[in-house]
Structure 1
Amino acid sequence: MPERTLNFGAYGARGIKGYEAVARQLDALAGFVATPVTARRGLLARLRYLTRSDQSRQAARAAGLTVTDRTLRAWLRGERNPSKRNLERIETAYRAVRRQNVSRYLLARLNREGRGTRVEFHPLNQSQVLRPRQRVVAYRTLNVRRWDRIVEAWAAGDAQALDDAWIYDAVVDLGSEWGQYEYVTNIGFAA
């Protein structure tokens, strides 16, 4: 079995870690608010999402948004504007709460009652690698049936756990060539 890549890009190959591509795809499926938090509309959408229930408020506080209820009401009414630091906290809290809320739905959608989801592995970009050092890496597809640890790590925002779950629950199923797909240009799946 191949080992994990230690010195990626030494000869000019370009790509990203597979788990980062998966996180991007899961973020796209989660359906975050598209309007930036710096715009009034985006700010209001995030604040309403974070304050619509007591459970949402508690999750927002746990995610780092620790302002008083009075301040939140002032922001919602437009009487005051949050600082740049608080805008970052609002965005971070919103993404964390949204991931927690959507994770059960995504898990059911991706597992599809044990049938899994077809995943496309787009290989790394070797256009800058000298011809003798290039690997033969082809586009591959795989049906991933175990999404539990992957979605759980994504919802928690734990990059190391997501990397391990992605490698050991999905990529190793590609067989002895799995090390060639640790870095990719893109991961695609339509759930």
Structure 2
Amino acid sequence: MPEQTQEFGKFGARGIKGHEVVARRLDDLAGGIATPVTARRGLMARLRYLTRSEHARAAAREAGLTVTDRTLKAWLEGRRGPSRKNLERVDAAYRAVRRKNVARHLLGRLNARGGTRVELHPLNQSQVPRPHQRVLEFRTLNIRRWDRIVDAWAQGDDSALDAAWVDQIVDLGSQWGQYEYVSNVGFAA
């Protein structure tokens, strides 16, 4: 059984950890506000999302947006604007709250009809010298239970997401270690 990669990229291979690509794909499926937070429209949309109810405000505080209600009101009315650091906090809080809000719905879609087919695109070996290249191929895998993956993603827990992802790709058999780093992971819900 292969071990996890210790020195990825030593010979020039390029790729991304599979769980990071899965997190990006889940973020895409979750949708959200496309306008950047630096634009007035994007900021206002995020602030309205984070302040529309007391539950949303509590979730925003829990996610790291710790400004006073008076400051939030001034931002919403346009009397003041947030600093660059607070813009980053608003965006991070929005992503965290959005993940938690859509996780249950997304989980239902991914687990429906016996799971979701996942396509694993191997890492890029174009810069690896010929003697060190491995034979890698496009692989597919059906993940039937997404609970741990979606829960770790919704919590923003990178190490738990990595562990949950590795537990799934072990189903590839003895070649699973070759797909710890990939160029892309594709799935739809």
Name the TM-score class by shorter chain.
Answer: over 0.9
Once the 2 structures are TM-superposed, how far is the Cα of residue 68 of structure 1 from its aligned partner? 1.2
Once the 2 structures are TM-superposed, how far is the Cα of residue 67 of structure 1 from its aligned partner? 1.0
The unaligned stretches of length 5 or more in structure 2 are none
Corresponding position of 1:66 = 66
Deviations 1:64-97 (A, max 9, x none): 1111111111111111111111111101100000
Once the 2 structures are TM-superposed, how far is the Cα of residue 16 of structure 1 from its aligned partner? 0.4
Once the 2 structures are TM-superposed, how far is the Cα of residue 132 of structure 1 from its aligned partner? 1.2
Corresponding position of 1:172 = 170
Once the 2 structures are TM-superposed, how far is the Cα of residue 99 of structure 1 from its aligned partner? 0.3
Deviations 1:18-62 (A, max 9, x none): 001101100100102110001000000000000011111001001
**Aligned mates of 2:92, 2:38 — CA distance in 1:** 13
**Aligned mates of 1:37, 1:16 — CA distance in 2:** 26
1:93 aligns with 2:89: no
Corresponding position of 2:131 = 132
Corresponding position of 2:161 = 162
1:3 aligns with 2:10: no
Equivalence map 1:134-149=2 (5 Å): 134-149=133-148
**Aligned mates of 2:110, 2:14 — CA distance in 1:** 28
**Aligned mates of 2:129, 2:82 — CA distance in 1:** 51
Once the 2 structures are TM-superposed, how far is the Cα of residue 131 of structure 1 from its aligned partner? 1.1
Once the 2 structures are TM-superposed, how far is the Cα of residue 146 of structure 1 from its aligned partner? 1.3
SS of 1:118's partner is: strand
**Aligned mates of 1:131, 1:71 — CA distance in 2:** 59
Matched positions, count:
189
**Aligned mates of 1:32, 1:17 — CA distance in 2:** 24
SS of 1:177's partner is: helix
Q: TM-score, normalised by structure 1?
A: 0.97
Amino acid corresponding to residue 145 of structure 1 in structure 2: R
Amino acid corresponding to residue 27 of structure 1 in structure 2: D
Amino acid corresponding to residue 180 of structure 1 in structure 2: Q
Residue number among 179, 182, 185 corresponding to 1:184 in the alignment:
182
SS of 1:185's partner is: strand
